[in-house]
């Protein structure tokens, strides 16, 4: 089966610009996660969707980050305006309902200059 | 609240030697525990998982881990290291159901010929 797809793979922007990332989860997976991985650290959850509803966005910096999951399938994560400290890899993961492991996409590496 | 501590940010072993990567967890509920591996510029790949069944868990590529509740540990081992094992390894914990993963900071494994 196809894995989790993410695009773009790399993005370089200047601070105060906006950027959007796209994720297509594995077909049939109800739950979708966005994680932020800063260099030298483990991934940290930004937001969790179940179908098209938000389950947990407590760690999402809502003044600049937004995310949506239309029709319970694809998802987009947006940053506006970007700051230098947003430089990181943004990982999308999906899982079926139940106590199953999460499957990760290749990530989008964002560099803010 | 859940947390993971990985002891040693960098471990170096000789090819053919035992690999031991340490992980201790904290969880207020019975935990699900995972080990993921990340190769450069790639997403995370699941090595193995503990979900309250057998305490000794076997994973891919010859890795295994043992859940020890009394020590709150879930250390990862491999009897004989291979050059291709060089990567970043992350231990993660979650509660039951579709809850987000909480990751450790990762351990970088180097294998010396």
How confident is the model over B19-72, as pLDDT tens digits?
A: 999 999 998 778 899 999 999 888 899 999 998 778 899 999 999 999 999 999
What is the pLDDT averaged over residues B80-99? Answer: 90
pLDDT score of A99: 65
Rounded-to-integer distance, Cα A62 and Cα A9, Å:
24
Over chain B, what is the mean pLDDT? Answer: 92
Instruction: For residues B6 and A105, give the distance between their C-alpha atoms in angstroms, rounded to a whole number.
Output: 23
d(CA A21, CA A5): 11
Q: What is the pLDDT of residue A1?
A: 65
Please state, in angstroms and rounded to a whole number, the distance separating the CA atoms of residues B64 and B107. 16
User: Is the CB of B106 less than 8 angstroms away from the CB of A41?
Assistant: yes
Query: What is the reported pLDDT for A71?
Result: 84
Q: Does A90 touch chain B (CB under 8 A)?
A: no
**A56 in reach of chain B (CB within 8 A):** yes
Report the pLDDT averaged over residues A17-40: 95
In angstroms, what separates the C-alpha of B113 from chain A's closest C-alpha?
25
Of the two residues B94 and B98, the one the predictor is more confident about is B94
Give the span between the Cα atoms of B61 and A62, in whole angstroms: 40
Q: Please name the residues in contact with B18: beta carbons below 8 A apart, sequence gap of 6 or more.
A: B77, B78, B79, B80, B81
Residue B95 reports pLDDT greater than 90: no
- Total Cβ atoms within 10 A of residue A55: 15
Interface probe, candidates B30, B38, B41, B43, chain A, greatest A C-beta count within 10 A: B43
Please indicate whether, in this complex, the C-beta atoms of A41 and B90 are within 8 angstroms of each other: no
Tokens of A88: 């990181």
Q: Is the pLDDT of residue B99 over 90?
A: no
pLDDT per residue as tens digits for the range A83-110: 999 999 999 999 987 667 899 999 999 9
CA gyration radius for chain A? 13
* Residue B71: predicted pLDDT: 93
- Torsion angle of C-alpha atoms B56, B60, B63, B68, degrees rounded to 10: -30
Residues 6+ apart with CB under 8 A from B53: none
> B60 in contact with A at a CB cutoff of 8 Å?
no
Give the C-alpha distances (Å, rounded to integers) separating A58 from A67, B34, B68, B87, B104.
Answer: 13, 23, 31, 31, 19
Q: Mean per-residue pLDDT for A29-35?
A: 94
Report the distance separating Cα A105 and Cα B11, nearest Å. Answer: 26
A104, B36: Cβ pair inside 8 Å?
yes
Q: Identify the burial level of A59 via C-beta atoms within 10 angstroms of its C-beta, where 0-12 means exposed, 13-18 middle and 19 or more buried.
A: middle
- Cα separation, A81 vs A3, in Å, equals 30
A59 versus A101: the higher-pLDDT residue is A59
């Amino acid at each position: 089966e196809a894995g989790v797809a993410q695009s773009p793979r790399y993005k370089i922007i200047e601070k105060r610009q906006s950027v959007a990332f796209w994720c297509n989860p594995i077909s049939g997976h109800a739950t979708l996660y966005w994680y932020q991985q800063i260099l030298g650290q483990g991934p940290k959850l930004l937001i969790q969707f179940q179908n098209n509803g938000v389950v947990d966005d407590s760690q999402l910096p809502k003044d600049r980050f937004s995310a949506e999951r239309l029709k319970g399938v694809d998802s987009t994560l947006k940053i506006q305006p970007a700051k230098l400290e947003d430089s990181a890899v943004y990982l999308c993961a999906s899982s079926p309902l139940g106590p199953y492991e999460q499957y990760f996409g290749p990530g989008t590496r964002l560099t803010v200059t | 609240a859940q947390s993971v501590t990985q002891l040693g940010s960098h471990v170096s072993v000789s090819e053919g030697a035992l690999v031991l990567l340490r992980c201790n967890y904290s969880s207020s509920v019975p935990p699900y525990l995972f080990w993921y591996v990340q190769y450069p510029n790639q997403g995370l790949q699941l090595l193995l998982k503990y979900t309250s069944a057998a305490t000794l868990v076997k994973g891919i590529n010859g890795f295994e881990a043992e859940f020890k509740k009394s020590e709150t540990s879930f250390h990862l081992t491999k009897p004989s290291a291979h050059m291709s094992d060089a990567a970043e390894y992350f231990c993660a914990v979650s509660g039951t159901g579709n809850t987000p993963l909480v990751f450790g900071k990762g351990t970088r494994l180097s294998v010396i010929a």
